[in-house]
Amino acid sequence: MISNKKIDKILKQVAINNGVSVEEVRKEIENAINMGKNNADPLIQRQWEMMGLKDKIATPELVIRKLNKKLK
């Protein structure tokens, strides 16, 4: 499993690459998560189900961990 330290490092690098704060990166990820979770498309909702996140509060860290696991 990807560690909190590694996720923090990734978020910091994304912030540096985009000239924004880590808080802004986190906010944008949270917005994207909310948009996805609120999308009525059944295919998108199925993806949330397959990641085990349909009925959970999905933090950026949790989604990054799930996506990392899915990509392995």
pLDDT at 31: 97
Query: Which residues have a Cβ under 8 Å from the Cβ of 66 and sit 6 or more positions away?
Result: 51, 52, 53
pLDDT at 38: 94
Above 90 in pLDDT, residue 4? yes
pLDDT at 56: 86
Give the Cα separation of 4 and 37 in Å (integer): 23
For residue range 11-65, list pLDDT tens digits in order.
Answer: 999 999 999 999 999 999 999 999 999 999 999 999 999 999 888 889 999 999 9
Above 90 in pLDDT, residue 71? no
User: Nearest CA to 18 among 27, 70, 4, 30?
Assistant: 27
How many separate domains does the chain show?
A: 1
List the structure tokens of 41: 């498309």
Expressed as residue numbers, the domain containing 54 is 4-12+20-71
Region at 60 (left for phi over 0; alpha for psi -120 to 50; beta for the rest): alpha
Contact 11, 25 (CB under 8 A): yes
